[in-house]
Amino acid sequence: MTPGFVRRFNALLRKEVCQLVRDPSNLAVGLLLPGVLILLFGYGLSFDVKNAPVAVVMEDSSPTARDVLAGLKGSTYLAPLSVGSMQEAERRMRAGAVNAIVRVPADFSRQLATGQARIQLVLNGVDSNTANAVNGYVGGALATWAQHRADRAGGHAGGGAVVVEQRTWFNEAGDSTWYLVPGLVVLIMTLTGAFLTSMLIAREWERGTLEALFVTPVRPLELVLAKLVPYFVLGAIDLAMCLLAARFLFQVPMRGSLLVIVGASLLYLVVALALGLFISGATRNQFQASQVALLASFMPALMLSGFVFDLRNVPWLIQAISQVLPATHFMALIKTLFLAGDNLAMVLRACVILAVYAGVLIFATRRTVRKTLD
Amino acid sequence: MSRLLDSLAQIGSLCRKEMLALVKEPASRAILIAPALMQSLLFGYGATYDLTHVPYVVLDRSGGAAAHELVARLDGTGVFEREATVRTPRQMAEAIDAGEALLAVSIPADFESRLASGRPAPLQVILDGRNSTTASLAAAHVGAVVASYNQARGTAPAPITIETRAWYNPNLESRWNLMPALIAALSMLQTLLLAALSVAREREQGTFDQLLVTPLTPMQILVGKALPAIAIGLLQSTIIFLVIRFWFQIPLNGSVWLLYLGLFVFTGAAVGIGLSISALALNMQQAMLYAFLLIMPLMLLSGLLTPVRNMPEILQIATYANPLRFGMEIVRRVYLEGAGLREVALDFIPLLGVAAVTLPLAAWLFRNRLA
C-alpha cells in the first residue's frame, strides 16, 4: 500500500461523501425509505387472515342449525354475518364485501340426525391464499362443533382415531411477521446497495468526468473502492436500524449469534453494492442503469429469493435461476439465523458464495472503468 | 379550428421526438420490452403460494401396519415426498434444521396398540416455521390425509360434509390471483421510472430550457411527455396480458375494452406521479431515487403480495391514495370475476383523482421550478 494510494483514495472518498450527503434524495432513499419499510413490514403487511367476513345463509331455522352459526362465531379468524337469502349473499360476494358464503340448507338438522348433513361453502377464489385459509378455518370450526356435539351426546367419537399433534418449530405462533422482518434485511441491503450505487459510474460517463479522471494518476480500483465505502457506511446504519427494530419493536427472536448475523449481512451488502456499481459501469447510461438495477437486483430479491414465495414450489428452471441470485443464498441464511440459530454448514456455504460474488463483481467493475476510450 | 390543429400538430411532434428518444437505441428499446416478457414468464412460474412439493421425513417407532398405511397415504398424495426414514429424533431435527424437510412425522411406539384398543393415537407432526405460510398449508394437507385415513378406518364421527366451491378460481391456484395483478404492477414499475426520468434527463442535458422557450405551452409539453409514456406502459401491459392469456392460459372473463380503459386511466395516474417527480428533481439520479421512494410503498400497500384487508385500519385508509391498488383491483376483477363497468366504477374514482392532481401539478412545476 503506497502513500500515493492513500492520498488519492482519500481525495476521491471525500468527493463521494460530499456528493452523497449534499443530495437529499440519497438520504431519503438511504435512511428514510428503510425506516418506512421497517414500519410497513412490521405493522402493515401480514399473511395472517383475521376476522375474514363470511356471509352465513340460514335456510334451516332449527336450534341445531343456529348452533352451527355460534360455532363459526367462536373462531377468531372468521367474522360471520347473517344474511337473509342466497341472492343477498351472492350480491355481497360480487361486491367484494365478504370472502365466503356458508349456506346451511333447509334440511340440515333432519339430515344431521341421519349422519349425512351437508353444508355449502362458496369461496371467492380471486385471493387464493385467503380462500384457502378461510376454507381451513370453516372446516376446523365445524369439526370442533361436531366434536363438541358428539361429546355432549356421550359417545366417544374420537376413539381409536389418529390425532394430529402439531408443533411448528422456529415460528411457534405461525406469525408471518417473523419471517417477513428477517427478509426485510435482505430487501433493504439490496435497495441501499444496488440502487444508490447504480447511477454513480454511469453519471460520470455521461457527464464526461470519468474521462477527466483518466488523465489523473487515479487507478480503477481506487475509484471503485472510493465509491463503495460511503454507501457501505450508509448500509451499515440501515442494518443497525433493521436489527434494532426487529429485536425491540417487533420482538422477532434472534436465535443465531448477533456477530454472525451482522457479519453475513455486511458481506451481502458488499455484494449488493458491487452489483450496483457493476451495472452502472457496464451500461454507462443512467437511464439504462436505473432500469437494469430495478430489474436485476430489486425485483428478483422481492419475487424469486424465497422471500414470500417458497422456492420448494417452483419448477426446477426457476429454482436454478434463483440459485444464481446472491439474494437467495442470503435470504435462506438470514431466516435461519434469526429463527433457527447458527447452522455452521449453512453459514459457511452461504458466506463463501457471497464472498465469491463480491470478489468477481468488484473485479468486473474495475474493468468497466479501465482507462480506455471508445 | 386551425389553431387547434396547430396545437395538436405541435403535441404530435413532441410525442414523436419523445418516442424517438426512447426507442432510438437498441439497448433502450430492448429494456422496454424484454423485461416485461421475461418477468411475466419468470414470476408466472416462480411467484406461487401453492404447495406442490412437501419434502418430509418419517420417524417410525411403531413399525406396524397402521403406521405403514398412513405413510403410504401421505406418499400417495403426490405432494408429500419422503426424503428419508430416520431412526433418531436427532436425525429428524437435523433434517428440519438444514431445510431438507419441511415437516417431520413422528410415530410413537404405542401407535399400533392404541389404535387397536380404540384409544386416540397421537401422531406428532413437526413443521419448519421459517416460512409460516407454507408451514400452515402443509399442516392443513396432513390434517386432510389423516382425516381421510380415520374415515376409512371408520373411527371418525360421521362429520358434516362441506361442499366447497370456489368462484372465479376453481382450483384456487395462486397464479390466477397474482398474474393479472402483474399486468398493472410490472408495467407501473417501468412506466413511472420512465416518466420520472424524462424531464429530469432534459434538465440534466440542458435541453429543457430550450423546450420552454418554444411556443409550446406547459399543458402541451405535459401531453407530449405523458402520451408516449402511457403508450409504453400499455405496450408492456399488453405483453404481460398476452403471456398470461395464451402462455399460462388463464381465462379472461371480462371485456378487453374495460380492461384497457382501466389500464389507460391507471397508467395515466402513474405517469402523472412520474412526471411530477421528474419536474421536482434536479437531475436524473434524484428523479430515479424519488421515484423509487414512492414505488416501494406503492407496491407493498397495493395488495400485490398480502391482502389489503389484513392491514391495520390506518394503512387501509392510506391505500386510497395508491393508484396501484385500484389499478390492480380493476384488472383482477375484470379479468377473473368478469366484472362490468358498473361494478368497478368506484375503483376508477381514486385513479382519476390521482391523475387529476398529479398531471396539472407536473405542468405547473415545469414552469415554476427552474433550477
CATH of the domain at B125: 3.40.1710.10
Highest mean pLDDT among A279-288, A364-373, B236-245: B236-245
Same domain, B41 and B60: no
Residue A154 has pLDDT above 70, yes or no: no
Same domain, B102 and B196: no
Q: Does a structural domain hold residue A162?
A: no
Residue A158 has pLDDT above 50, yes or no: no
Q: Does a structural domain hold residue A207?
A: yes
Q: Does a structural domain hold residue B208?
A: yes
Same domain, B101 and B184: no
Distance between CA A371 and CA A222 in Å, rounded?
13
Nearest to A37 among B99, B153, B296 (CB): B296
Whether the CB-CB separation of A128 and B169 falls below 8 Å is answered with: yes
Nearest to A28 among B126, B142, B293 (CB): B293
Q: Does a structural domain hold residue A70?
A: yes
* Chain segment A91-140, per-residue pLDDT in tens: 888 877 888 898 888 888 888 777 777 888 888 888 887 888 888 888 87
Same domain, A79 and A211: no
Among A11-20, B13-22, B45-54, B156-165, the minimum mean pLDDT is found in: B156-165
Count the neighbouring beta carbons within 10 Å of the beta carbon of residue A179: 28
Q: How far from A152 is each of A155, A176, B97, B118, CA to CA, in Å? A: 8, 36, 42, 19
A299 vs B39: CB contact, 8 Å cut-off? yes
Residue A156 has pLDDT above 80, yes or no: no
Q: How far from A347 is each of A302, A351, B127, B234, CA to CA, in Å? A: 22, 6, 22, 45
Show the domain range for B121. Answer: 54-153
Same domain, B194 and B305: yes
Q: Does a structural domain hold residue B162?
A: no
Distance between CA A225 and CA A365 in Å, rounded?
10
Q: Is B52 helix (H, G, I), strand (E, B) or coil?
A: coil
Which residues numbered 71-110 in A keep a CB inside 8 Å of some CB on B? 93-96
Same domain, A254 and A349: yes
Same domain, A112 and A237: no
* Chain segment B161-170, per-residue pLDDT in tens: 677 777 777 7
* Chain segment B203-229, per-residue pLDDT in tens: 888 888 888 888 888 888 889 999 999
Residue A27 has pLDDT above 60, yes or no: yes
* Chain segment B21-39, per-residue pLDDT in tens: 888 878 778 888 888 898 8
Same domain, A196 and A256: yes
- How far, rounded to the nearest angstrom, does the alpha carbon of residue B146 sit from its chain's CA centroid? 34
Q: Is B78 exposed, middle or buried (0-12, 13-18, 19+ CB in 10 A)?
A: exposed
B293 vs A46: CB contact, 8 Å cut-off? no
Same domain, A37 and A74: no
Q: Of B153, B186, B214, which residue sits at a domain end?
A: B153
Residue B110 has pLDDT above 50, yes or no: yes
Q: Does a structural domain hold residue B170?
A: no
Same domain, B9 and B110: no
Q: Of A147, A166, A189, which residue sits at a domain end?
A: A147
* Chain segment A53-69, per-residue pLDDT in tens: 889 988 888 888 788 77
Q: Hunting for cell 349425512 — which residue is that?
A: A116
Mean pLDDT, range B333-346, rounded to an integer? 88
* CATH at A114: 3.40.1710.10
A17 at B interface, C-beta within 8 A = no
Same domain, B195 and B340: yes
- Looking at every residue in chain A, the average pLDDT score rounds to 84
Same domain, B6 and B86: no
Residue A159 has pLDDT above 70, yes or no: no
Nearest to A171 among B35, B121, B129 (CB): B129
Q: How far B173 CA lies from chain A's nearest CA (Å)?
A: 6
Residues from chain B that touch A124, judged by Cβ atoms under 8 A, are: 166-168
Distance between CA B317 and CA A95 in Å, rounded?
18
Q: Does a structural domain hold residue A164?
A: no
Q: Of A103, A130, A147, which residue sits at a domain end?
A: A147
DSSP for A157-171 reads TTTT-EEEEEEEES-
Q: Does a structural domain hold residue B73?
A: yes
Same domain, A205 and A320: yes
Residues from chain B that touch A78, judged by Cβ atoms under 8 A, are: none
Q: Does a structural domain hold residue A161?
A: no
Domain count, chain B: 2
Same domain, B87 and B218: no
Q: Does a structural domain hold residue A74?
A: yes
Mutation pick from B33, B69, B167 vs chain A, by most beta carbons of A within 10 Å, is B167
Distance between CA B16 and CA B223 in Å, rounded?
12
User: How much is the pLDDT for A157?
Assistant: 47
Whether the CB-CB separation of B86 and B58 falls below 8 Å is answered with: yes
Q: Does a structural domain hold residue A137?
A: yes
Distance between CA B146 and CA A146 in Å, rounded?
17
- Angle A344-368/A220-244 helices, nearest 10 degrees? 140
Mean pLDDT, range B224-247, rounded to an integer? 93
Whether the CB-CB separation of A288 and B35 falls below 8 Å is answered with: no
Q: Does a structural domain hold residue A154?
A: no
Four-point Cα dihedral A129, A131, A133, A139, nearest 10: -160
A299 at B interface, C-beta within 8 A = yes
DSSP secondary structure letter of residue A102: E
Same domain, A289 and A361: yes
Same domain, B310 and B192: yes
Distance between CA B6 and CA B215 in Å, rounded?
11
Mean pLDDT, range B363-371, rounded to an integer? 77
Same domain, B88 and B237: no
Same domain, B38 and B63: no
Count the neighbouring beta carbons within 10 Å of the beta carbon of residue A253: 15
B121 at A interface, C-beta within 8 A = yes
Say what the pTM is.
0.83
In sequence order, which residues have a C-beta less than 8 Å from that of residue A44 and are 6 or more positions away? B300, B301, B311, B312, B315
B160: confidence class by pLDDT, cuts 50, 70, 90: low
B167 vs A93: CB contact, 8 Å cut-off? yes
pLDDT top residue among A88 and B368:
A88
Highest mean pLDDT among A235-244, A278-287, B39-48, B173-182: A235-244
Whether the CB-CB separation of A103 and A57 falls below 8 Å is answered with: yes
Mean pLDDT, range B185-211, rounded to an integer? 87
Same domain, A65 and A193: no
B42 vs A191: CB contact, 8 Å cut-off? no
Same domain, B149 and B219: no
Count the neighbouring beta carbons within 10 Å of the beta carbon of residue B280: 18
Same domain, A33 and A57: no
Show the domain range for A130. Answer: 52-147
Count the neighbouring beta carbons within 10 Å of the beta carbon of residue B117: 11
Mean pLDDT, range A2-29, rounded to an integer? 85
* Chain segment A311-341, per-residue pLDDT in tens: 877 888 888 989 999 999 999 899 888 888 8
